[in-house]
Structure 1
């Protein structure tokens, strides 16, 4: 079954420009063309687009998704997803820890009634860890 660009975009929940961009990036294979020059896609393209969007929602960058797809094409079914998902999980957990610390610091600042950063920073009772925040190594 051949699908035209609008049908594929609609089925995958992306716009036509996104579809063309993914095509240029090699995330989806170059489609066949009709005698009139229209792109003709198959159902696998819809599936691939859905995979790309789902992987992005899981925190993978487009570059990482492209790499997973390419490795999968070369190796068959083993794209290294297990190892990469484990790495991504570690990244996500680190970001969650950072966000938890940010939330806790903001709550403490609100509870303490901090209204002026300079006054708060020079106060012994300031709950914001200015020194720790500025000297702590950020997660990538």
Structure 2
């Protein structure tokens, strides 16, 4: 049984590391390949495509758990569409939070904040340092 790709061929073609390949196997994202008579793992050519799909989905922000669920639902109705819609909504929430953070940091620069302790002690401090008084958080 000399068919299939060796580990080095798979990781080179897919652009991943050996440990990544092994990790994906342990997570069940990639099927454990059969071994040759010499004991070498021999991966089917489709493994390279699957690795590329996984890495591409990760670049879009999908977690490995989300990717595993999408791969398991292959051909199922609503899998990618629903998950992509949810991921896009999450990305928009993150963008809004980052825009808010940028506005606060601009305000901190404009206020001349140079020391966290000094800034937090002034009422003009734009940074969101919650204060606790009587068990109630302010700001």
Short-chain TM bin? 0.7 to 0.9
Instruction: Provide the residue aligned with 1:38 in structure 2.
Output: 40
Conserved? CA contact 1:4–1:38, under 8 Å: yes
Greater fraction helix: 1
Q: Distance in 1 between matches of 2:73 and 2:13?
A: 25
CA distance in 2 between counterparts of 1:79 and 1:23 reads: 26
Could you tell me how far apart the structure 2 residues matched to 1:31 and 1:12 are?
16
Supply the distance in 1 between the matched residues of 2:112 and 2:13 (Cα, whole angstroms).
50
After superposition, the Cα gap between the structure-2 partners of 1:77 and 1:6, relative to the gap in structure 1 and judged at 3 Å, is farther
| Greater Cα offset, 109-118 or 47-56 | 109-118
Task: State the secondary structure of the residue aligned to 1:39.
Answer: coil
Q: Residues of 2 paired with 1:16 and 1:79: CA distance?
A: 33
Of structures 1 and 2, the larger Rg is shown by 2
Q: What residue in structure 2 maps to residue 83 of structure 1?
A: 82
Note the residue ranges of structure 1 that are not aligned, 5 or more in a row. Answer: none
Deviation for aligned residue 1:122: 4.3
Shift of 1:81: 0.5
The correspondence of residues 56-135 of structure 1 with structure 2, limited to 5 A, is 56-72=58-74, 76=75, 78=77, 80-131=79-130
TM-score (norm 2): 0.83
**C-alpha separation in 2, matches of 1:99 and 1:86:** 20
- Cα offset, 1:77, TM superposition: 5.6
Q: Distance in 1 between matches of 2:42 and 2:105?
A: 52
The 2-side partners of 1:36 and 1:135 are apart by 67
TM-score (norm 1): 0.82
Residue equivalent to 2:134: none
- SS of 1:84's equivalent in the other structure is helix
